[in-house]
Amino acid sequence: MIDRLRHWAKAHRGLATACAVGLAVLLVVLYRLAFRADTGRAAPERSVSVAAEAARTGDIAVHLDGIGTVTPRAMVTVHTRVDGQLMAVHFSEGQHVASGDLLAEIDPRPFEVQLTQAEGQMARDTAQLKDARLTLARFRELFGQQVISKQEVDDQAAKADQFEGAVKADQGLIDNAKLQLTYSRVTAPITGRAGLRVVDVGNVVHANEATGIVVITQVQPITVLFTLPEDQLPSVLAKMSGGAQLAVEAYDRAGQRQLATGSLVTVDNRIDQSTGTTRLKAVFENVDGVLFPNQFVNVRLLLDVRKNAVIVPAAAIGRGPQGTYVYVVAADKTVAVRSVTVGTTNGTDVALDTGLSSGDVVVVDGAEKLRAGSTVQVRADEATPPA
């Protein structure tokens, strides 16, 4: 009996192995079918976390941006009007000086000598004129008595006139000597800031020297020259012709920190053809001295203020092949793409001409993850209710 069982097992060993393999394959197929059925089910769409802000109605400034250079209102190189030795300097480098302040002194002694000589010559010629006039009076009496001829009277009158002319010339010499003496005291022609001293005490200075003694720049008030594109010029001229006083703001090189506020003074009378821009000049009081000559500044010209405009953050504006758009959050937390027309931009705010109404909630952060119909979860700490 045992031998028969062994013989049967040997005879059907292949069949058992085939059944086991077939069972394993069947299990694998069933598992894969179940996995595909599970993965084939539509998974619920996850909400996208975004920051949103409501469009608001308000006023927005219309600015024209340009780049400019700070220039002094006036800049004068102080020269001596006379030649001589520099005896004293009465200013410090960088000092604020007022018009008429004494800056330097030239040796006055040569001019004092000239003045003394002119005054002495004046005294001599005055005495001679007095004598000539007395003699002329006596000659006229003698002529009346027919003692002397008319020719002698005329000669004496001419001599008196000559002395009178000499006295006037002497007066001119005196005035010139006094003027040279005045020029020996060098004073500030304008109010401003003194620069570095060019010459030191003890040097002989000359009136024809190009360097002068010091350069004074007027920095209070101070001006800024800046440029704007020529297509913006008509709107500026229209405002100026209407009598508007346009405000101008000066910012640092990075354009982040406001330095000063002034007003537009004038527009240049021509357009630079090579750049297509025109120059404008603005004046700033510069009381705190924050603007410095030849400093580079960014300029913002306040042209107008738009009233009751629909305003959204600039971060909400998207740009694509069809133009500018925003993602608007609906009440059911889904978003829709809406085309908008961008108007004025002022810093981080944008005024829209069309496309939105006040109170519409737009996505300002996370829009790169969205498409039309996406479900969003507005972050509570960044959501802004309608104004």
Q: Give the span between the Cα atoms of 32 and 301, in whole angstroms.
A: 71
Per-residue pLDDT of the chain (387 residues; tens, 9 = 90+): 445 545 544 555 555 565 555 666 566 556 565 545 444 444 455 788 888 888 888 888 888 899 999 999 999 999 999 999 999 999 999 999 999 999 999 999 999 999 999 999 999 999 999 999 999 899 888 888 888 889 988 998 999 999 999 999 999 999 999 999 999 999 999 999 999 999 999 999 999 988 899 999 999 999 999 999 999 999 999 989 888 889 999 999 988 899 999 999 999 999 998 999 999 999 999 998 899 999 999 999 998 888 888 888 888 888 888 889 989 988 888 888 888 888 888 778 888 888 888 888 998 888 888 888 888 888 865 444 444
The per-residue pLDDT for 254 is 87
Q: How confident is the model at residue 40, as a pLDDT?
A: 44
At 15 the three-state DSSP class reads helix
| 52 DSSP β-pair partners | 363
pLDDT, position 85: 94
- Residue 385 counted as domain residue: no
CATH code for the domain in which residue 325 is found? 2.40.420.20
The DSSP-derived string for 320-353 is: ETTEEEEEEE-TTSBEEEEE-EEEEEETTEEEEE
Domain check: are 286 and 313 in the same one?
Answer: no
Residue 45: inside a domain: no
Asked whether residue 175 falls in the same domain as residue 89, the answer is: yes
Q: Indicate whether 384 belongs to any domain.
A: no
Query: Would you say residue 210 lies in a domain?
Result: no
Could you say which of 243, 271, 306 is where a domain stops?
Answer: 306
Residue 1 identity: M
Same domain for 261 and 196: no
Q: Are residues 110 and 198 in the same domain?
A: yes
Tell me how many domains the chain contains.
Answer: 4
Among 277, 306, 335, the domain-final residue is 306
Q: Quick one: pLDDT at residue 168?
A: 94
Same-domain status, 119 and 195: yes
* Angle between helical axes of 109-144 and 150-183 (0-180°, round to 10): 160
**Residues 55 and 91 occupy one common structural domain:** no
Residue 250 placed within a domain: yes
Parent domain of 358: 50-59+308-378
Residue 346: inside a domain, yes or no? yes
Residue 369 domain flag? yes
Domain shared by 32 and 124, yes or no? no
